Amino acid sequence: MKEKTLVLIKPEAVQRHLIGKIISRFEDAGLKIVGMKMVWIDEEFAKKHYTEDISKRRGEFVRNKLLKYLVEGPVVAIVLEGVDAIENVRRITGSTEPKTAQPGTIRGDFAHVSYKYADDNNMAVKNIIHSSSNEEDAKNEIALWFKKNELHDYKTIQDYFF
């Protein structure tokens, strides 16, 4: 089933010049970029992305660190489309904790910080990328980050085969 999902290339990855390397991973897998922009969000917008639900699941400490991390610099927001896009993007990005992410995944190749290290140093886990975790989150996150007229429909070579 074709679906859309949101990816955020976080400030550290932007600062490290990883945007092109990250995007190429998704394009190489046949995923289609249907929306993309660079934005520098404020804390109010970040709170709409990392909602109170994060506090309930992961704690206020973690949410506050994520909010601070997301506003450190510009973010590249991308909407990807493809067959089972949510699952495939999450497989390409790797485990949320970079230390346990497999080599060959984005986090496994470009990040290494553990939850313990981040907690011990009072910082967010610098995992460089966000991807929607499920269909409901993808729908809500895409609507938050993109207006309908910022999403595009066009054919790629994969559209002729899938």
Q: DSSP class of residue 134?
A: S
What pLDDT was estimated at residue 124? 84
C-beta neighbour count of 92 within 10 angstroms: 21
Comparing 123 with 16, which gets the higher pLDDT?
Answer: 16
Residue 78 scores a pLDDT above 90: yes
More confident residue, 82 or 158: 82
> pTM for this one?
0.92
Cβ neighbours, 10 Å, residue 113: 18
Only one residue has tokens 């991973």, namely 25
Tokens of 79: 């909407």
Q: Confidence band (pLDDT; 50, 70, 90) for 56? A: low
| Every domain of the chain and the residues it spans | 2-153
Rounded to the nearest integer, the mean pLDDT of the chain is 92
Residues that are catalytic: 130
Look at 111 and 1; give whichever has higher pLDDT.
111
Give the span between the Cα atoms of 138 and 132, in whole angstroms: 5
Helix, coil or strand: residue 30: coil
CB atoms within 10 A of CB 129: 26
pLDDT, residue 126, reads 87
- Report the chain's C-alpha Rg in angstroms: 15
pLDDT above 90 for 1: no
Asked if residue 128 lies in contact with residue 11, where contact means CB atoms within 8 angstroms, the answer is: no
> For residue 55, what pLDDT is reported?
54
CATH superfamily of 2-153: Nucleoside diphosphate kinase-like domain (3.30.70.141)
pLDDT tens digit string along 95-154?
A: 989 999 999 999 999 998 888 898 888 888 889 999 999 999 999 999 999 999 999 999
pLDDT above 70 for 58: no
Q: DSSP state, 102?
A: P
Tokens of 155: 């054919």
128 DSSP assignment: -
